[in-house]
Structure 1
C-alpha cells in the first residue's frame, strides 16, 4: 500500500481507502461488510469513510460493529463521518444542516454508531446556505478542542466557500478545514484540477476523492444500458444517473464505450485503469473505493501496480478519449 499525507497535515492515509456509501446497511449483509473491511485492512487500507446520511445511519452502525468485531487497533485506522443531511428518514429543522446544534449532535451520534471515542476526519457534507460559515467553523473548532474530532473538512464545497472558512478560522485563531471530499474521475475533473488549484499549497488542503468509477460508468458494465438491480438501475437512483452522466448523456456513453475498448486493447480492467488515473494526481491524498464483493475490492486494489506500470503515452491515450 502507498500512504500519502492529508494535505499539509501530518496524518498519513492509505492512497486507496474504503467507503460505505450505498452498500453498507442497505445493499450487502453484515458478514459481507465484515469480509470487505477485513480484506481492506489486510491489504493496507487504514481509512474507512462514512456519513450520517448513509442508510440513515445504519451504514455507520454496521461499520462500527464490524471494526469492533475485527478488533482493529484504534491507533492503526482512521474513520470519518459527515454532517449535513441528517440520519433520520424525514429530518426536522434541527436534525440537518450545519448549525452548531446539528454539527454537535451529529458528531455524538456518529461516535456511538461507529463505537469510537473520536472521529479522525469529520466533513461538512454540503454547504449550508442557512448557516453562517463562521458558526460552522466555530462548532468544528470546539469539537477539535474537545478531542472528539482530529481533522475537519468539507465535501463538495466551492473553492470560494472553502477559502471563506479558512479565512474565518485564521482571523479568529480557530482550527480551519484540513481536507475536502469531492467527486473526481475521468468524467469529472474541473473542480479538483482547476477550481481547487489555489488551495493545495496554501492553506495546504488535502483531497479524499469519491466515485473514481463514476458510480460504475467507468467499469463498462453500463455500456449497453442500466440493468435492473445495478446501482444506476435501481428505482430512485435516477438523480445519480444525471449526476454522473451530465447534460449530454449520449456523448458521454460514446466516450465510455471508446474507453472500454482502449482498456481492452491495453489488456487492463477499465475499472483498475480509471482508479490508477485518479492516483496519478499528486494532490489526491486518498481515493475512496466502494465495493460489494471482496473480489471486486481486490481487483480495484491492483490500481497501485498500474500507477507505475503504465507510461505517459498510455495515460495520454486515456485522457484523449475524454478530451472533448
Structure 2
C-alpha cells in the first residue's frame, strides 16, 4: 500500500477500498482490452471495488450489457476473486413481483459470478413493505449469496424502519447508505436526517453521482442518460464548474480528483463510487487520496461555499 493510500474503511461487515468503480455507462464504453487493463490497474491502486448492476427494470429498462462485459473482462484479467470487492444491486421498481432472489440470481449468472460481497437496494417510487424487504434480503445473506447490504437514496423514515425491523427480527440491517453527494449536492449526506446515523456509526456513507453525470469533472453536460436532478439544481451546478476547475488547479489535481477528495473528507465516507472508462481517468482520480491525506481540511474550506441544494429536503423526499 502506498503512502497516499489511506487505510480501508468499514462498509458494514467488510473493509473496502476508498475508490469504487461503477458500472452504469462504463464497461459498455470500453473495448475488451481496455476493460481488462482497468480492472488490473484498479487492483494495483487499491481501487478494486466494483459496483455490478443489471440495468433492465423501471427507469433503467435499457437491456444494458455492461454487467456481462464486466464479467468477461474480470475473467480475462486473471485477477483473483479474493483481491476485489463486488457490490450488486437490487431494484424496487417491480418488487415484489420481481423477487430479490430472482434478480440476484439473474445478475450473478449474467456476470458469471457466484456471490456479491455486499449489495445496494435501489430507490423506489411506491411505498415499500419494509419488513418484507428486510426479510427477503436476509434470506440471500443466509444462503451465502451476499455478505451485507445498504440502501440507495431512501427516505430517512424507511431507512430507520429497516434498521428497526432488523433489530426486532434479529436480522442483518442496512450498514451503509449510497447517497448523492458531492461538492454541490450535500443536503442528504450532511443534513439532520441522515447525520445522526452517520455520526453514531450506524451507517457508513458511500458517495455516488459525485460528478453530477460528468458535469463537475468536465464542465460539459453529457448526452448520455445521467442521474435524477433532485431539486432541479443542475443548471446551478453546471455554473459552478469554472470555480471548481480553478480550485482544483490550485491543488494541482483534476476537478474530478478534487470532487472525490471532498467526498472522502466526510467523516462517515467509506468510499466514493464513480464511473471511469479510461485507465488515465482512474489514475488521475487516484490523486484524490494524497490530496485528502495532505490537504483534507484545506479542500473542505476551499469548497465551503459551493453547495447549491441547501433548500432541498434532506430526508430523501423528492
The answer to whether the superposition gives a TM-score over 0.5 is yes
Residue 52 of structure 2: aligned partner: 50
Q: 3-state SS of the aligned residue for 2:99? A: helix
Q: Aligned ranges for residues 43-122 of structure 1 at < 5 Å?
A: 43-53=45-55, 56=63, 58-84=65-91, 96-99=93-96, 101-122=98-119
Structure-2 separation of matches of 1:133 and 1:125: 13
Residue 215 of structure 1: aligned partner: 213
Summarize deviations over 1:75-104 as a string: whole Å, max 9, x none: 22111111116xxxxxxxxxx533275211
Residue 260 of structure 1: aligned partner: 245
37 and 158 in structure 1: CA distance in 2 versus 1, 3 angstrom threshold: same
**1:136, distance to aligned residue in structure 2 (A):** 1.0
User: What 5-or-longer segments of structure 1 have no aligned partner?
Assistant: 86-95, 227-231
Structure-2 separation of matches of 1:177 and 1:311: 28
Give the TM-score taking structure 1 as reference length: 0.84
Residue 304 of structure 2: aligned partner: 319
Residue 2 of structure 1: aligned partner: 6
Summarize deviations over 1:265-304 as a string: whole Å, max 9, x none: 4443222111111111120101112111111111011111
Which structure has the highest helix share of the two?
Answer: 1
Q: Aligned ranges for residues 284-323 of structure 1 at < 5 Å?
A: 284-310=269-295, 312-322=297-307
Residue 33 of structure 1: aligned partner: 35
Structure-1 separation of matches of 2:232 and 2:175: 32
Summarize deviations over 1:160-197 as a string: whole Å, max 9, x none: 11110111111111221122211110111111111311
250 and 64 in structure 1: CA distance in 2 versus 1, 3 angstrom threshold: closer
32 and 320 in structure 1: CA distance in 2 versus 1, 3 angstrom threshold: same
Matched residue count: 299
Kindly indicate whether residue 148 of structure 2 is the aligned counterpart of residue 151 of structure 1. Answer: yes
311 and 77 in structure 1: CA distance in 2 versus 1, 3 angstrom threshold: closer
Q: Aligned ranges for residues 170-181 of structure 1 at < 5 Å?
A: 170-181=167-178
Structure-2 separation of matches of 1:285 and 1:97: 29
Give the TM-score taking structure 2 as reference length: 0.85
RMSD: 2.4
Q: 3-state SS of the aligned residue for 2:273? A: strand
Structure-2 separation of matches of 1:256 and 1:276: 16
